[in-house]
Structure 1
Amino acid sequence: MNKEFAVIGLGRFGGSIVRELRELETDVLAIDVDEERVNEFADIATETVIGNTTDETVLKNLGLRNFDNVIVAIGDNIQSSILTTLLLKDLGVKKVTVKAQSDYHARVLDKIGADVVVHPERDMGRRIAHRLVSSSVLDYLELSDEHSIVEIYATEKLAEQSLLDLDIRAEYGVSVIAIKRGADIIVSPDPTVNIKETDVLIVIGKDNDLNRFEKLLNRE
């Protein structure tokens, strides 16, 4: 059975989620108070509705408690985001995912029971900053306040050495969990296999340790 999603707020963030969910062939109900925005998604979403989700009656009439995941992507009104989230949880929605505008907003969302809180602007800012500072970083994914996963070019500094030789975990406190080699992904790589300069390492660890490891690869 396909999962059913509802997306509230059809700005850039919410709109992109609707498009991607439809690409994945899931059913998506798209909701916004702005008629013009809703009309933009009439031929994209499974169903579209113009509605004010701070009104509990509207949420009940839409039957949102029956959806597998409701994404609150309201971007221009923190009060509406918080009230909508609170009402959805009161209605018994299985999973509520909410876009946070700030750390304060996120703390409030956590306290009122949001299941998942995302920080798209902050996270993208961090990813871009890492890529700007380090020419070897391909991608950066925050797992928690202290831990992340980084995709990083091996570069010539690691080439023709094995993970065993480099002893990266002991030296830097990070772990190489996979290696991308061309079209192949080597999961839990054999520590005796030599790294190639063109390899991409997928590394997990504490942010401070990852930063030290990145500096090693950027050092002239």
Structure 2
Amino acid sequence: MKKEFAVIGLGRFGGSIVRALIEEGMEVLAIDMDEDRVNEYAMIASHAVIGDTTEENVLKSLGIRNFDHVIVAIGDNIQSSILTTLILKELGVESITVKAQNDYHEKVLIKIGADHVVHPERDMGKRIAHSIVSNNVLDYLELSDEHSIVEIVVSSKMEGKTIIDLDIRARYGINIVAVKRGGEIIVSPQGNDPIHKGDILIVIGADSDINRFEKKTVD
């Protein structure tokens, strides 16, 4: 059964979520106060409507409480973001994800009951900075303030060695969860599997431990 999503705010962030959800085959209601934006997504989303979501009666009329997940992607208007989130919570929406502008905004959103808070610009900035600093890092996903999942390209220093030879868990306190090789993804690789230059290790662990591993294995 298809899940039903509502996306409030059709700027770059909200619009990209609408497109991604539709590509995944989901039902998506797109909402914005700007008529031009709504018209842009009228042929993309399942439904697109003009509406002021700081008005409780507007959200009620849309049957918002019946949606499985509502994403509040309102741009720079923090007050509208907070009011919308508060009303959604009071109406009993099952799951609410909200885009935060800053740490103070996030604290308020958490206090009023947002289930998930995201910082797309900040998080993307960290990912880009991390990949620039290390030539061996392809991608970086922050799990918490201290832990991440990172894709690391196998260097010549690791060429031909097995998972057992590297002994990464004992030496660095991190885990290899998968290996990408060409178009193949090897999940939970065996200890005696050799790795090759150009393979991509997907590792998980504390940032400090991952950094130590990167420095030891860079060509």
TM over 0.5: yes
Aligned 1:78-93 pairs, distance under 5 A: 78-93=78-93
1:215 and 1:82 map into 2 onto residues whose CA distance is 43
TM-score (norm 2): 0.97
The answer for the alignment partner of 2:199 in structure 1 is 199
The separation in 2 between residues aligned to 1:22 and 1:185, in whole angstroms, is: 26
Please identify, of 33-42 and 2-11, the stretch whose mean Cα deviation from structure 2 is larger: 33-42
Match of 1:55 in 2: 55
TM superposition shift of 1:26 = 1.2
Task: Show the counterpart of 1:137.
Answer: 137
| Aligned-partner residue type, residue 161 of structure 1 | K
Question: Letter of the aligned partner of 2:81 in structure 1?
Answer: S
Q: Count residues in correspondence.
A: 219
CA shift, 1:196, in A, is 0.6
Corresponding position of 1:72: 72
3-state SS in 2 of match to 1:148: strand
Pairing of 1:97-136 with structure 2 (within 5 A):
97-136=97-136
| Whole-Å separation in 1 of the counterparts to 2:170 and 2:79 | 47
Shift of 1:124: 0.5
How far apart, in 2, do the equivalents of 1:163 and 1:102 lie? 41
Specify every segment of 5 or more residues in structure 1 that has no aligned partner in the other structure, as ranges: none
SS at match of 1:158: coil
- What is aligned with 1:17? 17
1:72 Cα deviation after fit: 0.2
Return the alpha-carbon distance in structure 2 between the equivalents of residues 159 and 105 of structure 1: 47
4+ runs of 1 displaced by more than 4 Å? none
Structure 2 residues not aligned, in runs of 5+: none
- Partner residue, 2:94: 94
Q: How does 1:111-190 map to 2 (within 5 A)?
A: 111-190=111-190
Take 2:185 and 2:43, find their aligned partners in 1: how far apart are those partners? Answer: 37
Instruction: Quote how far apart the aligned CAs of 1:82 are.
Output: 1.0
SS at match of 1:88: helix
Superposed displacement of residue 101, structure 1:
1.2
2:45 aligned with 1:45? yes
Return the offset for 1:168: 1.0
Q: Deviations over 1:176-201 (max 9, x none)?
A: 11111112111111112211112100
How much has 1:143 moved relative to structure 2?
1.1
Q: CA shift at 1:25, angstroms?
A: 1.7
C-alpha RMSD of matched pairs (Å): 1.1
Q: How far does residue 122 in structure 1 lie from its aligned partner after superposition?
A: 1.1
Alpha-carbon displacement from aligned partner over 1:19-51 (angstroms, at most 9, x marks no partner):
111111211110011111111111111111111
Whole-angstrom distance in 2 between the partners of 1:155 and 1:6: 44
How far, CA to CA, are the matches of 2:108 and 2:212 in structure 1? 33
**Normalising by the residue count of structure 1, what TM-score does the alignment of the two structures yield?**
0.96
Q: Which position in structure 2 is the counterpart of 1:215?
A: 215
**What is the Cα deviation at residue 217 of structure 1?**
2.8
The residue number in structure 1 matching 2:34 is 34
Q: CA deviation at 1:114?
A: 0.7
SS of equivalent residue, structure 1 residue 49 = strand
1:62 deviates by 0.8
Instruction: State the alpha-carbon separation in 2 of the partners of residues 199 and 44 from structure 1.
Output: 37
SS at match of 2:191: coil
